[in-house]
Each structure stands twice: as structure tokens, then as C-alpha cells.
Amino acid sequence: MKKEKIIGIIFIISLILTFFLGYLTANVAPLTFGDDRNRLEYLNDAFEKYYYFDVDDEDRSNAYIAHLKGIIDSYSKTYNDPYTRLDAVDVSEKISNSDKYNGTGASLYYFEGGIIQVGEVYYGSPAYGKIYEGEQIIGELLPSQLVVEFIGKKFAEIAPYLLAKIGDSKTLVVKDFYGNLRNVQFIYSPFGNPSCYIEDSFESNIAVIKIKSFEDSGDNLSTHVLFRDSLRYLEDNGLSSGKTLVIDLRDNPGGVLNTLVNESKTGVKGILEQLLVRDNDKPVFSLENKKGQLTKFYGGLTFKKEYDIVALVNKNTASAAEVMASALVEFGYKIYGEETYGKGVYQETITITTIGTTRYDLVYTAGKWYYSDRKNVFDTPLVISENIFMKGILNVEHVDFQKDLKFNDVDTITLPFFQKFLNAYYNDSIREDGYFDNETLYLVNRFRADRELTNNHLIDQSFYYEIMLLYSNAKVFSNGYDTQLLELFQIIKTK
């Protein structure tokens, strides 16, 4: 199935839509496409006058968006540019990953046909331990005991049943991997998901700021504002000479460059302006547009910070996060971890139209960005001072549960994942090729006993649920599973 919309942490949605192929109508939104507009309006008029079927407003809207998306996707495919796209953003609610949401703490995905699939469930959230990644939400049980089914409905019809206010209670109907249904009650409550926050290091001489993405909401929830507040707090509480600030950029896909340098705007400086000295001979990074015009950006400090700064990156550190990492390297700081993603281009956004509660934006590649002497991460990867790789269960990429597995089964799709997980969890070395042998059975039974599961000798749905709980738990640093960050601490302490 083709993913069409992503529902955010509290069912507030920022999504990419795909619609049926169709035609354009001038009644939806004006275009300035020259001769193409006349042809399309002529086609639309012909459908209005002569088409056998009655075309309603929603069909016109879908056709219009399909036309735009077809054009944009064609350019993207022709020039091998996966970053240029048509984005559709729900504007019925204010959307910001920096906010405290009134929700459940689960990411949900909308698929064509009204299928809502559970994505990541966050540790400590209202959804933790109630729903699991890969399950489906098929409806809502109303107070009247009437079930509103989602299957077959469009997103706009489903969204009102998922949104709620603080203190509201909803009962959602969840389908598990066996096809069984259960009613799950949620009380919508504030659940923080800031784009930038302080991570407790439990080390007296090391402070950590985690940046999940770079967002500019125009208020105090913007990433550079959150970073300023976090940095002030740390400096006011002991971050000084002889200590180290770790900036965790792992799994950061990037975002808005204005959060790094905010020179052209009033208000809070960008993050790189807060951290790096302004040197007119050394920009923190530069952007080159289609015409070859180079725009340089600079730091904002008069004096260098008295403490050391390091960054931790991985293969999913991309775009604006790579820009930040490269600037730190350029100004003499070190980065650790793994080679970054290597996205050496930047995008700009134009709002095309708003239809109902959905705003359609064209996100297009506008040029390249450079660090140092016109180096680009696509061609010249950032220099990692020391490679640090994640170990343990967080290094095992999981798959959705598909079926029960028992002794002597052969399954090359899901069983290797479970075998790798058991090896990581118990520091063992059983086979990982998808054959359920005696050694696999031994660890399966051990895990079921350790997690107080019924010992039926199976890898079943309950087994998978326990693994998902462990994953959510492991992503919280204080629970001790983040071997990459712990290893970085040891490197810092031995310098």
C-alpha cells in the first residue's frame, strides 16, 4: 500500500497526499501557466458540459491536485531529485513538533482506503503499553456504543474522530496482528515532543543538548529559541571552562536553515550564531542558487565559548543537521559517530493554494550548500574524528510482526530480526539466517520467562509486543541502552 498521509504525535497531521489522475478547474484555484491554462480550462469546460457523470467539488479538487502532483513528480523523476515534491499540510490545527500535544504519544499513518496504522509509540506516553507499532486503528467507539468505522473513509472524514482536547477521553478500536479487535481507551493529555531539549548526561563535566529537527514556528517553540533557552540554562548551571557540550544530531533529518542563521530577521539569533565566533573571512556555510550566486552566512559571537563543543552524528543526520555539523568542524570542533547522510542541496517552499483545511506547498530544490572551501557533503563527506557505532538492541532494525514462529520453522523475512534482537539482548551468538533451531528456541523460552510471558515456546504477538516496549524504553538515554552516547562520554573523559 502506498503511504499517503502521516499523522503526527497527537493525530495533528502534516502529510503528503496522492490523488487520482484528473483535470484542472479554474474554480478551485487560479493558475498562471500560460497556454497550458487555456487548454486545461477548455478540458474542464468540456467535462462540465458534456461528461455523462456529475462532477462534484471534491472530485475537481482531487483532479487539480493530481495535475499539480503529476507535473512536480515528473520533474523530480527526470532530474533524479527526490527532494522536490508537493506537500499537503493540514491547517485546521496549529502544527508543530515542538509543541506539547494533547494526545496519545503515538505516530499514526494513513493509507488509502481509510487504513490507520500505528507507527512509533513513545515511552511514557498515554499510548505506551496500550497499542503497538504495526497494529491498525479501524474506528472509534462512541459513548452511545456505536462504532464509527474508518475503513473506506477519506482522511478528512476520519480526522475529526482522532483530534481531541486535554482531558478528553476516546475509545479507539484496534486490530492486532491476528485480526482480533479490542477497545483501547485514551485520555488525551499533554505530551511533550520538543525539537530541542536538554538530555541528562549524569556526568558532572558533560552537558547534552538533543536537536531532533530544525523548525521555525515563529514563536518560542522554534528550535533556535529552544536551543537558546537550553544553552542559557546549562551555562547558568555550571557549563564552563574545562567542560564539554555535546550536541546530539543523530537521526535529525534537517529542516529550516533560518534556525541556524537568523541574520536577516529580528529576534533570536540562529544556533550557529549563538555558538560560533563571527569571522568575516570564514563563513559557517554558504548557499549557491541556480544562477551561481553565492550567499555566505556567519557566526555571531565576539569571543569563543570557553567550553569544548562536540557533535554526535549518524547515517540519518541530514540536510540542515549536516550544515550544523560541518560548521562546527570548520571552526575547530570535532564530530563523532558515523558518516552522515550526504544531502548537499537545499530546498525552498512556495505555497500554491489552500483547499478546505489543507494547504498545498511546492517544496523544490533551489541550490547547493557548501562548507569550508566550497566543499559539498555529497562529494566530500564530513570528517568524523572517531567512529562510534551503536551496539545492542538499538542497532537492530525491527520489522512488523507477521505470523507465529515455532521450532523448525524457516522464515527469512521476520525470524532473522528476532534472532538478531535476542543476540543483542543477551549478548549471544545464535544463528541469524531465519532457521528456528534449538539455540533459538532456548533464547525464545528464556526471553518469555524473563518478561513473564506464558511459555508456549513461540515467537508470537505477545513476544513482539514485549520487544516493542523494550525499544521505546531503550530510546530514553537514562535507561542505559544508548551505547553510542555512553562511548562518546568515555572518549571525552579520557581526553
Domain match, 240 and 309 both: yes
Q: Indicate the pLDDT class of residue 11, thresholds 50, 70 and 90.
A: very low
CA distances from 120 to 6, 9, 218, 410 (A): 12, 9, 27, 28
What pLDDT shows up at residue 393? 94
What pLDDT shows up at residue 149? 94
What is the percent of the chain with per-residue pLDDT over 70, rounded to a whole number? 87
Q: Is 200 buried (19+), middle (13-18) or exposed (0-12) by CB count in 10 A? A: exposed
**Top mean-pLDDT range of 43-52, 58-67, 469-478:** 469-478
Domain match, 263 and 207 both: yes
Contact 183, 407 (CB under 8 A): no
pLDDT tens for each residue of 69-99: 899 999 999 999 999 999 877 665 443 343 3
What pLDDT shows up at residue 40? 64
Question: Which position has the higher pLDDT, 480 or 332?
Answer: 332
User: What domain count does the chain have?
Assistant: 3
What is the percent of the chain with per-residue pLDDT over 90, rounded to a whole number? 61
Reply yes or no on whether the pLDDT at 120 is more than 50: yes
What pLDDT shows up at residue 54? 79
Domain end marker among 192, 217, 250: 192
Reply yes or no on whether the pLDDT at 1 is more than 90: no
Structural domain for 331, as ranges: 196-347+364-387
What pLDDT shows up at residue 413? 94
Cα 69 from Cα 220, distance rounded (Å): 34
What pLDDT shows up at residue 39? 64
Alpha helix ranges (H) inside 51-100: 57-78
**Top mean-pLDDT range of 82-96, 337-351, 432-446:** 432-446
**Top mean-pLDDT range of 68-72, 179-183, 345-349:** 179-183
Domain match, 408 and 278 both: no
Asked if residue 291 belongs to a domain, the reply is: yes
CATH code at position 309: 3.90.226.10
Domain match, 131 and 116 both: yes
What pLDDT shows up at residue 191? 67
pLDDT tens for each residue of 242-297: 999 999 999 999 999 999 998 656 589 999 999 999 999 999 999 999 999 999 99
Domain match, 76 and 3 both: yes
Domain match, 225 and 330 both: yes
What pLDDT shows up at residue 21? 24
What pLDDT shows up at residue 136? 94
DSSP string, 296-361: EE---BSS--SSEEEEEE-TT--THHHHHHHHHHHTT-EEEES------EEEEEEEEEEETTEEEE
Domain match, 184 and 221 both: no
What pLDDT shows up at residue 36? 53
Residue range 439-446: mean pLDDT, rounded: 98
Asked if residue 493 belongs to a domain, the reply is: no
Q: Indicate the pLDDT class of residue 186, thresholds 50, 70 and 90.
A: confident
Burial letters 97-132, b for 16+ CB under 10 A, else e: bbbbbbbbbbbbbbeeebbbbbebbbbebbbbebbb
Domain match, 269 and 179 both: no
- Residues with Cβ within 8 Å of 354's Cβ and at least 6 positions away in sequence, in order, are 91, 360
Reply yes or no on whether the pLDDT at 195 is more than 50: yes
Question: Which position has the higher pLDDT, 164 or 322?
Answer: 322
Cα 120 from Cα 134, distance rounded (Å): 9
Domain match, 88 and 56 both: yes
Q: Which of 213, 231, 334 is nearest to 273 (CA)?
A: 231
Domain match, 158 and 20 both: yes
Residue range 149-155: mean pLDDT, rounded: 88
Domain match, 325 and 208 both: yes
